[in-house]
Amino acid sequence: MNMAKLPLLDKNVCNSPHIVILGAGGSKQTFPNGDANGKKLPLMNDLIEILGLAEILDKESIEYKNVNFEEIYSDLKNILKYQMLSKNIENRIYEYFKDMVIPNEPTIYDYLILSLREKDLIATFNWDPLLIQAYRRNIKIKKLPRPIFLHGNVGIGVCCEHKNISYIDAVCPTCNKPLSRVKLLYPIKQTNYSAEIKSEWYILENKLNVAYWFTIFGYGAPSTDVDAKNLMLKVWQNNPSRDLAEIEIIDIKPKDELKETWNSFIVRQHYGIYEDFFNSYLCRYPRRTCEALASATLMGNPWPENRFPKFNTLDELHKWIEPLLEDEIKYEVSKEPFSYMT
């Protein structure tokens, strides 16, 4: 076997990243009853209804029934007389999402963030600020995975002059000026990401090129968004560990449909499909997904599961992962293998 194609292992610890792609279906599963105030998380097929956009589309005689919202926007953006309408739609979306508040109790987003390590990545297409809010309230847990925003987000801001991205309520560390909001909508039929979003895609490409796990959580890769899927596929196909890596799909759609959508990413039988996030590898082997996979497939030594229990408070959740964090510190200090591996 070509050793160059093996995942990055050191002292039985896997340093290859686990990448999670997060779509609107992931938000919907995380917040089925809406945010802390009951504000609904829309999908693309009900966004016009939930955000009350029908009135302004009807006024312009724009056909929207049974049409993907992003396709509608893409068409409007390419027609000069609808530029003001396009801007109005984006403002409506921004205002709807910006006031969303995460519930106090632990959510799937909290479990997702804490199931990964600093080497890993969460790349979201979602506009809502709830992932950022979950990240900020778990920040005391050191070395969390980096979140990036592939289609912008109401919770982040940018300094266009110095290309700095941070929380929307922060200031640019270079010029000390308040950050500006980022663009949310793009004409997806001919994707042309602005500079700050291009930097997010570069991060994804660099990580995906060496990833060992690739989880797709509630992202449907709509046919109208073919450029985004192709960008990821091009990098994934050049990943030297791809023949050994694993694809994980978390979605409520029929399994046959999901396999067909992501078939070009899958190698042989190296994939799993789950309806429920809590049945995924992320929850069965939190913070150790890559190690557990390597041990089972490369070393013939499957690990017993270490499932996340469901907790009522974040403090309980943080307490539960303490032994995992301690093992990570030991490895950093003395290269001592994780307890699972001893």
- For residue 162, being part of any structural domain is answered with no
Amino acid letter, 313: T
- Domain-ending residue, one of 57, 79, 98: 98
Which pLDDT score is estimated for 8?
A: 65
Q: Count the domains in the chain.
A: 2
Which pLDDT score is estimated for 293?
A: 94
pLDDT in tens, 302-325: 899 999 999 999 999 999 999 999
Which pLDDT score is estimated for 82?
A: 83
Do 14 and 30 fall within a single domain? yes
* Res 78 pLDDT > 90: no
Q: What is the DSSP string of 82-143?
A: GHHHHHHHHHHHHHHHHT----SS--HHHHHHHTS-TT-EEEE----SHHHHHHHHTTTSSS
pLDDT in tens, 84-108: 888 888 899 999 999 999 999 999 9
Average confidence (pLDDT) over 68-78: 79
What lies within 8 Å, CB to CB, of 118 at 6+ separation is: 143, 144, 145, 146
Q: Residue 307 and residue 150: Cα distance in Å, rounded? A: 30
Which pLDDT score is estimated for 334?
A: 92
pLDDT in tens, 47-64: 889 989 988 898 888 888
Smallest CA-to-CA distance from 339 within 284, 287, 280 is with: 287
Do 129 and 56 fall within a single domain? no
Which pLDDT score is estimated for 1?
A: 41
Tokens found for residue 287? 């913070």
Do 220 and 203 fall within a single domain? yes
Residue spans of alpha helices (H) in 209-321: 226-237, 255-262, 281-284, 289-297, 314-320
Do 8 and 118 fall within a single domain? yes
Which pLDDT score is estimated for 195?
A: 58
Do 239 and 302 fall within a single domain? yes
Do 140 and 277 fall within a single domain? yes
Do 24 and 71 fall within a single domain? no
Which pLDDT score is estimated for 4?
A: 45
- For residue 51, being part of any structural domain is answered with yes
Do 254 and 200 fall within a single domain? yes
Do 315 and 259 fall within a single domain? yes
Which pLDDT score is estimated for 281?
A: 96
Q: Is 175 exposed, middle or buried (0-12, 13-18, 19+ CB in 10 A)?
A: exposed
* Res 223 pLDDT > 70: no
- For residue 63, being part of any structural domain is answered with yes
* Res 42 pLDDT > 70: yes
* Res 135 pLDDT > 60: yes
Of 157-171, 200-214, 282-296, minimum mean pLDDT range:
157-171
Q: Residue 30 and residue 41: Cα distance in Å, rounded? A: 10
Do 77 and 107 fall within a single domain? no
- For residue 15, being part of any structural domain is answered with yes
DSSP-assigned letter for residue 155? T
pTM of the entire predicted model: 0.92
Do 26 and 81 fall within a single domain? no
Do 86 and 195 fall within a single domain? no
- Domain-ending residue, one of 60, 76, 98: 98
Which pLDDT score is estimated for 189?
A: 56
Amino acid letter, 281: Y
What is the domain extent for residue 82?
A: 47-98
Average pLDDT for the chain: 89
Q: Residue 341 and residue 17: Cα distance in Å, rounded? A: 19
Which pLDDT score is estimated for 163?
A: 81
* Res 273 pLDDT > 70: yes
